[in-house]
Structure 1
Amino acid sequence: MKLRKSLLAAAVAASFAPAFAGVLPDNMMAAPAQPMSLEAKANLASRLEARRSAAGLDSEHGYKMREQHPGANGHRILRADHTFQGLRVFGSESVVVTDENGDIVSESADNRRNGLDSHRSARATGKAAPETTAAFSADEAIRIAVSRTGGKTHRIKPEAELLIWPVVKTQRTAAAANKAESALNATDVEEVVDHYELAYMVKTRMNKDGRPVFRDTVINATTGAVIKQWDALQTVVGVGHSQYNGDVPINTTLSGSTYKMLDSTRGVGGTFGGMAITNANHSPESNPQAGSIYTNSTNTWGDGQQYISGGSTTNANGQTAAVNALWGLMNTYDTLKNVMGWSSLDGNNTATYIAVHVDNNYDNAFFDPNCKCMYIGDGGSSFNSLGSIDVIGHEMGHGVTDATSNLTYSGESGGLNESNSDIIGEMVEAYARAGGTGTSIPLTGNDWMMGKEISKSGQPLRWMWKPSKDGASKDAWSSTLGNINVHYSSGPNNRMFYFLAKGSNSSSSSEMYSSYLNKQPLAMTGIGSDKAFRIWFKANTTKFTASTNYANARLKMIESAEQLYGVGSAEATAVKRAYAAINVGTDVDEAGAGSGVSISSQPNNVTVAAGGTASFTVGATGGTSPYSYKWYRNGTQISGATSATYSFTAQAADNGAVFNAVVTDSSSPVKTATSNNATLTVGTTQQTEKVVNGGFESGTSPWAGSTGVIGNYSGQSAYEGTRFAWLGGNGSTATEALYQSVAIPSTATSANFSFALHIDTAESGSTAYDKMVVTVKNSSGTTLGTLATYSNANAASGYQIRSFNLLPYKGQTVRLHFNMTEDSSLQTSFVVDKVSLQVQ
């Protein structure tokens, strides 16, 4: 397609200068901040020192101010590295928010320095501060790094920084000590510092076999051993374009009689004094050169077609890649500026540039943090020109991260780094497709697929809603997530953001379904792209540190949502649910979801003789299981009484005591229900036990039915003694029954039937696949009454005492029946012990 004629291009260009429609949201970032004065820096340094002292850190610990950018409501964001004896502690830093007076509003810190102590007693433990004098020079460290990289020539002079390296290990929390590996959630593990090493951080930016080899290498400054190394080249493939967008207005500059692809209305300073598009003219990927700004005799550019390999880079066909780049860069700038109030990539409105036509048939694009610029290839075997809006937004997103959180491009933080760029790419695409104006991100317009337009096969680089569709990315967190390529470990966070904006689906056949969402409603509700992006952007720019992982990202996202929209808000709840959907944190109910809790079975009045067992049981329904219980005696909570049944040995002094229970569900916010009162009467008449061998310690007699279930089997344990009755646990179709006949005197004034029951299962969900029914039958086997039905859905740790009143059956000889049925797969065990019928 042809672009608009020169007069129209010039006229429309003016309308695309940064402008705001309507009133700005109050969470917009401020205008670029002026550099801090020496007095302001000294004032802030003293405030930080006071915080250090309050945290119990001595004078060997300090702060080194690094980055500064504007925040919302006139605030200033400062990033300060933590130091020890003047050396930076890698990954330990503070994100400090200050107001206009320089007062600290908040501090988000990763304190990996807290174990640093140089005292001799501390060093004896092997986990304190190392010696801070290196055994060899920085030049030797660079030599070691280069030898491990294999590069040929340096594109940029290498750097070596002596620092303290925290050797971090991942360990389970105490609560997750016995969890199966496959059942671990991101919040079940934590990163702790095992010990510290003196190290060189060496940054090499080299060329090898025609390719850039950018590496960050950590070298032990005592032994010379390489501790860690990772790829530092931030590409879109892990993996413009009027070619993609038809006729588009672009902002250019007229210099004399020549038009230049220089947008002086977006950004200041930088290499070219504005946002510029330059011609790399096939300079090699290993050492691309920006080249000169595109120029033209008219203000009509490009032919809208894919670049013809080997052709001119400056004719109409060659200009199309530049059109793609400028259009993408303009929309990225406007999205950040108009929606977030964020000026350019660094927040301080520093101009950047994009160089197109890198190398020959180059199937990639990358952001270079050294020039704060982007390089784009023409595509080769897999892609067309890599100048689509979402790809440019992605690479420019690396620039935002570079200026703010600087997420380390390795491990889980590297995945979050890549995910941030995918998120920005999608939001820029949505904003541009809606016309590129206004102060909000629309919910529609983007395709939630990264790089689909550039793909020759029609398959995108990444699917946001179902990352695993590419065959390598992950849909959810696992303990091995940090060990894979950052383009694939970004998957879970991409899915989180999609769910946060768009919601999920409750059908297991849907690609938008998550098995980790088990609260109400099963399909979580999205909050829209605009709110989701504001929460994410605030977290990345004002709370994330370089070492933020998935679990920490969740916490900081919740904080951001609560600060923007309120504690307990639908937006904060959505963040919790979106992260739960990727196995980071547990799921919660949405406000108003599900029914309230109600008492389904009230505790009964109990009459026992002194020395007998008094048992009170409550049942609940509704809300969100599992439930928790609190029992009260005469209005005072009973310590340790936290099960559905409360049992104890009654004494004469307990006569007349009143008991009730409060049941709480697992929703957020929680729902509760309070039971009726039940009164305990302690009589003087001795109770009589009617069940014989209720603890199964004397063999099987007089029990009848499937008596083979009685015994002492490995895999289960008794409630008391050593033996029990284990019904079920087969994992295949089975029917088992156990019963005993008892006579209840016609003169009985109480008849309390009770037993201890433990249920465990391999089933999942709330469907009752395996069941045990407790009934009362007459001597011929006719059911007189069903006392309770239990299933795999009632599984719980430990035993619970179940209690029932059998006084309605006085004067009869009855059978107490336990009948179990199990389906064809996945076991459920019903373990019964301490069966008792006490009659008075």
Structure 2
Amino acid sequence: MQARLLSTAVLAALAGSTLALSAPALAANINSQAAQRAHGLIDGHGAAVQRADADAFVAKHSVVDANGTEHVRFDRTYRGLPVIGGDVVVHSKNGQFKSASLTLKTTGRPDVAPQLSADQAIVEAGTAFGTGFNGMPTASLVVYARGAKPALAYEVVMEGTKADQTPTAMHYFVDARNGKILDKWDTIETANATGLGKTISTGDVALTTNSVSGGYQMVDNTRGGGSTWDAKNLSDRMAARKATLFTDADNVWGNYATSDRASAAAEAHYGVALTWDYYKTVHGRNGIFNDGQGVKSYVHINNNYVNAFWNGSAMFYGDGDGVTYKPLTVLDVAGHEMSHGVAQATANLAYSGDAGGLNEANSDINGTMVEFFANNTNDPGDYLIGEEIYYANVAGSSNQKALRYMYNPGKDGSSRNCWSTSVASLDPHYSSGVGNHFFYLLAEGSGAKSFGGMDHTSPTCNSASVTGIGRDAASKIWYRALDVYFTSSTTYPQARVATLSAAADLYGTGSTEYNAVAAAWSAVSVN
């Protein structure tokens, strides 16, 4: 049950949190030999990874290229405390160190004795949270290293529900010396979108289901057992306990309208399947966590809920308001939400600053690529985000509404076309405009184009013309940068370096693709 808004005094009284330190989790797909070699290279190249004497490293993920180049991602601790922003990717070949990708710029580390108690940190975070929360807040000591100088901090996690029914899991980083909030982000990552019933957006689609005695289940065993559940218009917390798996007697799901609850379920199930296939076919990735395991999708979350979100382990879709917005189960939204999971499993991009914008851009980019990959005539590929959620939109018309416009992000009135240092202060859905604009220019160029009946002519920030290299090459460059070069705190200027490295790996330094990456970043003022 959601707690009412609590006073500072009550927060303090309830702040009996633990200080248990959780070590970074190991991914199931680590190449242990590559990880051991990379760990040994850290020992011999401490300066390159800004290693302090008490730093320790835990391998999280590895990629081994066909030519033998190895990329191993590590989380970092200092005296047993997680270092937020201390993650690093070690690149090597034949046992020889090549380089390291990281954001941390110093070997300086703080004193690990806090001057503030965990209870005091929870009070400070609770004041900032400003709404009712569920359960008991937690606080644990970390080294916060996303700023200019690493600081000892408490990571305070407060869970609750926003006014629009979206769940929230806010992480506050509270300075353990003076109580100042150093950073914050929400690990419930949304598309700010609303969805669509199956037949409204995609018409008749093929679904992979599970045949059981007496009928069928909406379980896809060909894609890791991913399943689709009816949340019964409950909150995400209640749905996890009371949702029911969609079942059917004749394997026909929905009725081309929202009057049948299976219509939205079929749309979500289809979207997840197409996203799985896109990542596997184009990028060789086997599911969100690259472990072959599917995840759950919950439809009909909350009442008249105009949003969708990834909560770290599952997807949740609202029904829309039934007036302006349809159910949020549309194809590019499904691809967007699953891509939040992929970002979590790879670079783990933080949800604030430039990294937050890159996080949202990554989901928009890959959600859009899923739409093109699906090649569904009822929802043709375009660079509009969530256009199918609007009842008023007419397919093929020149004035369709969308949540975001990748070819011209500023068209929504809030997103940025061009990068500047002020972008980091924006909501990630708006700072994503820079990354979205870059990707569009890289893939399609700046000339006059039309997709889905909408003019997609894209401006540039430096008035230069950009020649696109095509969606396939652009998406492969972006994914490789995410997978082996981005880290949790990557900035837009660092993303330029990372994507150039990815382009060099795939196509060669000085290639047409490499030069196009540089030109596209310059065209959005990232130099």
Q: TM-score, normalised by structure 2?
A: 0.84
Q: Secondary structure at the match of 1:465?
A: coil
Equivalent of residue 262 in structure 1, options 208, 215, 219: 219
Match of 1:512 among 454, 458, 466: 458
AA in 1 matched with 2:200: Q
Structure 1: runs of 5 or more not aligned: 1-31, 117-128, 169-192, 268-273, 309-316, 436-443, 586-840
Aligned counterpart, 2:20: none
Q: After superposition, where does 1:711-730 map in structure 2 within 5 Å?
A: none
Match of 1:149 in 2: 129
The structure-2 alpha-carbon separation of the partners of 1:106 and 1:347, relative to structure 1 and needing over 3 Å to count, comes to farther
Structure 1 residue 456: Cα displacement: 2.7
Which residue does the alignment assign to 1:302? Answer: 254
2:114 counterpart of 1:134 = yes
1:81 to 71, 75, 94: 75
Match of 1:212 in 2: 167
Q: Indicate the residue corresponding to 1:322 in structure 2.
A: 265
SS at match of 1:513: coil
Which of 25, 39, 54 does residue 45 from structure 1 map onto?
Answer: 39
In structure 2, the residue matched to 1:346 is: 289
| Correspondence 1:203 to 2:157 | yes
Q: How far off is 1:505 after superposition?
A: 2.5
Q: Does the aligned pair in 2 maintain the 1:89–1:113 contact within 8 Å?
A: no
Cα 1:134/1:563, change in 2 over 3 Å: same
Note the 1:334-373 alignment, pairs <5 A: 334-369=277-312, 372-373=313-314
Q: Are the counterparts in 1 of residues 49 and 88 from structure 2 also a CA contact under 8 Å?
A: no
Distance in structure 2 (CA, Å) of the matches to 1:56 and 1:539: 21
Q: CA deviation at 1:140?
A: 4.4
Q: Which amino acid aligns with 2:72?
A: L
Tell me if structure 2 keeps the 8 A contact 1:467–1:491: yes
Deviations 1:124-181 (A, max 9, x none): xxxxx432111344454334323431343436x644331222473xxxxxxxxxxxxx
Alignment of 1:670-685 (within 5 A): none
Q: Kindly tell me: are residues 53 and 533 of structure 1, through their superposed partners in 2, closer, same or farther at Cα, counting changes over 3 Å?
A: closer
Structure 1 pair 513–560 and aligned structure 2 pair: CA distance change class (3 A): same
SS at match of 1:92: coil
Match of 1:404 among 328, 346, 351: 346
Residues 1:545 and 2:491 are matched in the alignment:
no
Counterpart of 2:404 in structure 1 is 462
Separation in 1, partners of 2:52, 2:389? 55
1:632-657 Cα shifts (integer Å, max 9, x gaps): xxxxxxxxxxxxxxxxxxxxxxxxxx
Deviations 1:227-246 (A, max 9, x none): 33233321101896233111
The letter for the 1-side match of 2:189 is Q
How far residue 287 of structure 1 moved from its aligned partner, in angstroms, is 5.2
| Cα pair 1:92 1:113 within 8 Å, conserved | no
**1:664 matched residue in structure 2:** none
Give the 3 Å change call, closer, same or farther, for CA 300–135 of structure 1 in structure 2.
same
- Distance apart, 1:304 and its partner CA: 1.7
Q: How far apart, in 1, do the equivalents of 2:467 and 2:501 lie?
A: 19
Paired with 1:569 and 1:429, the residues of 2 have a C-alpha distance of 28
> Does the CA-based 8 Å contact 2:461-2:525 persist in structure 1?
no
- Cα distance in structure 2, aligned partners of 1:510 and 1:36: 43
Asked if residue 379 in structure 1 is aligned to residue 336 in structure 2, the reply is no
Is this contact kept in 2: 1:150–1:208, CA < 8 A? Answer: no
Give per-residue Cα distances to partners, 1:208-233, cap 9 Å, x unaligned: 56552321101111222323323332
Q: Which residue of 2 aligns with 1:478?
A: 420
In the alignment, is residue 162 of structure 1 matched against residue 127 of structure 2?
no
Aligned length: 482
Contact kept? 1:82, 1:113, Cα under 8 Å: no
Q: Provide the C-alpha distance between the structure 2 equivalents of 1:36 and 1:198, rounded to a whole number of angstroms.
A: 32
Q: For residues 554-593 of structure 1, give each alpha carbon's deviation from its aligned partner in whole angstroms, at most 9, with x where no partner exists.
A: 11111111110011100011101111111112xxxxxxxx
Percent of counterpart pairs with the same letter? 33
Q: CA deviation at 1:54?
A: 6.8
CA distance in 1, matches of 2:48, 2:183: 34
Q: Contact 1:358/1:375 (CA < 8 Å) preserved in 2?
A: yes
Give structure 1 regions of 4+ aligned residues with deviation exceeding 6 angstroms: none
Amino acid at match of 1:63: A
Deviation at 1:455, TM superposition (A): 1.5
Residues 1:279 and 2:230 aligned together: yes
Higher strand share: 1
* 1:43-71 deviation per Cα after TM superposition (whole angstroms, max 9, x unaligned): 543332222167785523x2321522545
Q: C-alpha displacement at 1:339, in angstroms?
A: 1.1
Instruction: Please report how far the alpha carbon of residue 98 of structure 1 lies from its aligned counterpart in structure 2 after TM superposition.
Output: 6.0
Gap change, CA 1:55 and 1:388, over 3 Å in 2: closer
Give CA deviations for 1:421-480 in whole Å, capped at 9, x if unaligned. 000111000010169xxxxxxxx9411100001123431111111111111111111221
> Which amino acid in 2 is paired with 1:448?
Y
State how far apart, in whole Å, the 2-side matches of 1:352 and 1:66 are: 24
Q: Is 1:108 the counterpart of 2:67 in the alignment? A: no
d(CA) in 1 for partners of 2:281, 2:372: 13
Return the alpha-carbon distance in structure 2 between the equivalents of residues 229 and 536 of structure 1.
26
Q: Do the aligned partners of 1:65 and 1:78 also contact (CA within 8 Å) in 2?
A: no
CA contact (8 A) 2:446 2:458 kept: yes
**Distance 1:238-1:361 versus aligned 2 partners, 3 A rule:** closer
Which residue of structure 1 aligns with residue 190 of structure 2? 235
2:519 partner SS: helix
- Report how far residue 412 of structure 1 moved: 1.1
Please give the alpha-carbon distance, in whole angstroms, between the structure 2 residues aligned to 1:72 and 1:387.
35
Amino acid of the structure 1 residue aligned with 2:161: N
Deviation string 1:304-338 (CA, Å, 9 cap, x unpaired) is 21x24xxxxxxxx1100110001000000000001
**Counterpart in the other structure of 1:439:** none
- Aligned to 1:230, the other structure's residue is in SS state strand
Deviation string 1:390-412 (CA, Å, 9 cap, x unpaired) is: 01000111000000111110111
Post-superposition offset of 1:247: 0.8
Moved more, 375-384 or 135-144: 135-144
Output one character per residue of 1:635-694: Cα deviation in whole Å (capped at 9) or x when no partner.
xxxxxxxxxxxxxxxxxxxxxxxxxxxxxxxxxxxxxxxxxxxxxxxxxxxxxxxxxxxx
CA contact 1:253–1:260 (8 Å) conserved in 2: yes
1:584 alignment partner in structure 2:
526
Q: Is the 8 A contact 1:70 1:347 kept in 2?
A: no
Structure 1 residues 198 and 40, CA gap change in structure 2 (3 angstroms): same
Please say if residues 331 and 428 of structure 1, whose CA atoms lie closer than 8 Å, have aligned partners that are also in contact.
Answer: yes
Indicate the SS of the match to 1:265: helix
Q: Which amino acid aligns with 2:283?
A: M
Larger Rg over CA atoms: 1
Higher RCO (CA 8 Å, separation ≥ 6 residues): 2
How far 1:495 moved relative to its partner?
1.1
Query: Kindly tell me: are residues 260 and 69 of structure 1, through their superposed partners in 2, closer, same or farther at Cα, counting changes over 3 Å?
Result: farther
For 1:304 and 1:108, locate their aligned partners in 2 and report how far apart those are by CA, in whole Å.
Answer: 52
The TM-score, its normalising length taken from structure 1, stands at 0.54
Question: What is the correspondence of 1:116-127 to structure 2 with a 5 Å cutoff?
Answer: 116=108
Number of the residue aligned with 1:448: 383
Structure 2: tracts of 5 or more residues without a match: 1-26, 394-400, 450-454
Instruction: Give the AA of the match of 2:342.
Output: V
User: CA separation in 1, counterparts of 2:133 and 2:79?
Assistant: 35
Aligned to 1:634: none
Q: Which has the higher helix share?
A: 2
